[in-house]
Amino acid sequence: MPQRIEALDVSIEELEQLVDCAGQGPLPPEGQRKLKAAVATLGIMAGMLADKDTTIRKLRELLTPTRTTEKTNKVLDSTGAEEPEPKPARRKKGHGRNGPGAYKGARKVRVAHPAMKRADHCPGCQKGKLYPLNEPKRLIRLIGKAPVKATVYELEALRCNLCGEVYTAQPPSGVGTEKYDASAVGMIALLKYGSGIPFYRLQKLESDLMRFQLLRQGIPLAPATQWQQVSEAAEILKPVEEELLRQAAQGSLVHNDDTSMRILSYEREAGDARTGMFTSGVVSIVAGRRVAAFFTGSKHAGEKLADVLRRRAKELAPPIQMCDALSRNAPAAFAVMLSNCMAHARRHFVDVVNSFPAECRYVLETLRGVFHFDALAKEQELSPQARLRFHQQNSRPLLDGLQQWCNQQFEERKVEPNSGLGKAIQYLLNHWQELTLFLLEPGAPLDNNVCERALKKAILHRKNALFYRTINGASVGDLFMSLIHTAELGGVNPFDYLTELLRHPRELTQAPAKWMPWNYRETLDQKADLAA
C-alpha cells in the first residue's frame, strides 16, 4: 500500500510562487514543507499510475482520506489539537443479547408439564400447592429454511378400465389456482428491491439448497421467472403507487435528492441532450406520516418533485422543501419554502478540518450545539410551534454568532476566499436563509437525512445489480421500493403488506386509498367482519 500523503490545502498558484521564490533564496520552513509534500504526492501518484491494478478509488483514498464517522469529537481528534478531557461514555443498559421478547415473528408452542398441574401438592415439601408462574420458562430454537419453498400435491387419479374416464382427487381447500402464491411473489420482490439481492443470486441459493443433500429445500427459480412474477405483480400494484403519490403531493414537508443510476437500454426523448441517469427520492410528511417515492430516469430530482406536486390540491399552501443547495433539486414550476441541509454545509468544514483545525473547530462545535438542541426537541416530542420557539431561544444565539464570525473572516481578510475554508464559509453565507429556515418556519428540518437514508435502497440495488436493463425494469423497481420503504417508515412489515396487496387485486383497483400501509389492516379486519 502507498504511504499516506499529508493533507495540505495548497493551490496551484501558491506552488508556482514557491517555485519562483526557491530560485531567489532559501524558502521558509512552511514553504519547504508544502513543496516537499507536492513533490512526494507527484512521485507516489506516478508510481501508482504505472501499476495496472491501480483504480480511481485507490487514488481518491490516497488524496482525500475518508473517515469512518463525521461525529464532531472524532473529526476534531484527527486534527491533533489538544482536546479537553472527554467525559466517560455512558454504557448502554443490557448485555447485547436478544431475549425471547425480541423474536416477535417466532411461532410459539405451549408445553404443559406432563405430570403436574395447578393445585397439585408439591412433591418436595408435601405441604404446599403448585401454581403456574406468570412468565413461563422459554427456550429458543432457530432453524434454517429456503426463502421460497414449494409444495407438490400429488392428486390421486383413477381411470375406468372400460370407458377410460379419469377421476382425479380435488386439491385441499386453500391451495388456490395460481402456481406462485402472493407470499412467494412478495418475498422475491422484497429480497430484490428491499434487500438488494439480485435475481441470479436468489436462483443460486435455491439451486444450492436443492442440490446438496443436507437440506433439500430449494426449488428451481430462474431469474426470468422471478422477473415475470414481479413485473406482473407491479401491474396489479400500480393503483396503490398512484394513490401513494397523490397523498405524498399533499404533504406539508417534502424531502428530495437523487443518486446516479444506470439503465442499459434507454431511448431519450427528442432534444434531450443529457447523458446522466438518476434515481430520485422523495419523502413527504403527510399528517405525521412519511411517504417515500422513487423515480429513475434522465430527469433531475427537482423535475421529479414537480411531477409529484402536480397532484397537489390547489387550495393548499406551498410546502416546505428540504434538499441540498444544488439548483437541480428545486421544482421550478411550483412555489415552495426552500430549506437547505445544514449537514451538507457542515460537511464542507469536515473536509478541510486538517488544514484549518482552529477555524473548523469553532464552526463544528457551534453546529454541534444546534444539532444537540434539535435532538432535545425530538426527545421531548415538541409540537412544531414549540420546537420553533425552542430553537429561537437556544439555537439562534449560536447561529447569529456563527454568521458574524463568517463575515469577519472575509472583512478582516483572515481567510483566502478561494481556499477550502473560504469556499466552505462562502457556501454557508450564500445559503444562510435556506439553512436557517427552521428558525423562521414551524416544522422546517435541519437536515435531509431522511431522504439520504431512503436513497440507500437505490444505492444498495446499484451496488449489487449494477444497473436496470430497461426503463420498464426501473419503473418496476421504483414501485416496489416506494411501497417497501413507505411500509418500513411506518413500522409496517413490508412482506406482509405486499402479500396482502397481491391477494386483493380487485379491491386495489376499486379503492386504493384503503390499502395504504397505515390502514390496510383495518380494511382487512372490516372485510373479515363482513364475511362473518
Q: Which of 403, 420, 447 is the last residue of a domain?
A: 447
Burial of 447 (0-12, 13-18, 19+ CB in 10 A): buried
In angstroms, the Cα distances linking 499 to 97, 183, 190, 194, 339 are 31, 5, 10, 14, 38
Number of domains, the chain: 2
- Per the CB < 8 A criterion, the answer to whether 39 and 18 are in contact is no
The dihedral sign for the CA sequence 69, 255, 513, 187:
negative
Q: How far apart are CA 175 and CA 165, in angstroms?
A: 25
Given a cut of 70, whether residue 138 has pLDDT beyond it is yes
Residue carrying the nine cell digits 446522466:
276
Percentage of residues of the chain with pLDDT beyond 90: 58
Q: What predicted TM-score, i.e. pTM, was given to this entire model?
A: 0.82
- Look at residue 87 in the predicted model and tell me its pLDDT: 57
Residue 347 lies in a domain: yes
- Look at residue 102 in the predicted model and tell me its pLDDT: 80
Residue 461 lies in a domain: no
Q: How far apart are CA 122 and CA 124, in angstroms?
A: 5
Residue 231 lies in a domain: no
For 303, the grid coordinates are 423535475
Q: What is the DSSP letter of 121?
A: B
- Look at residue 501 in the predicted model and tell me its pLDDT: 96
Q: Which of 416, 447, 478 is the last residue of a domain?
A: 447
Helices in 223-341 by DSSP H: which ranges? Answer: 223-248, 301-309
- Look at residue 139 in the predicted model and tell me its pLDDT: 87
Lowest-pLDDT choice from 6-15, 102-111, 238-247: 6-15
Cα torsion for 518, 475, 462, 224, to the nearest 10°? 110
Nearest to residue 461, comparing CAs of 221, 298, 282, 260? 260
Q: Which of 392, 414, 447 is the last residue of a domain?
A: 447
Given a cut of 50, whether residue 1 has pLDDT beyond it is no
Residue 220 lies in a domain: no
Given a cut of 90, whether residue 294 has pLDDT beyond it is yes
Which of 49-53, 508-512, 527-531 shows the highest mean pLDDT?
508-512
Rounded to the nearest integer, the mean pLDDT of the chain is 88
Give the pLDDT confidence of 365-399 residue by residue, as tens digits: 999 999 999 999 999 999 999 999 999 999 999 99
Residue 77 lies in a domain: no
Give the pLDDT confidence of 432-457 residue by residue, as tens digits: 999 999 999 999 999 999 999 999 99
DSSP strand pairing (468-470 vs 289-297):
unpaired
Residue-number span of the structural domain to which 415 is assigned: 342-447
Given a cut of 60, whether residue 84 has pLDDT beyond it is no
Residue 34 lies in a domain: yes
**Average pLDDT value for residue range 176-197:** 93
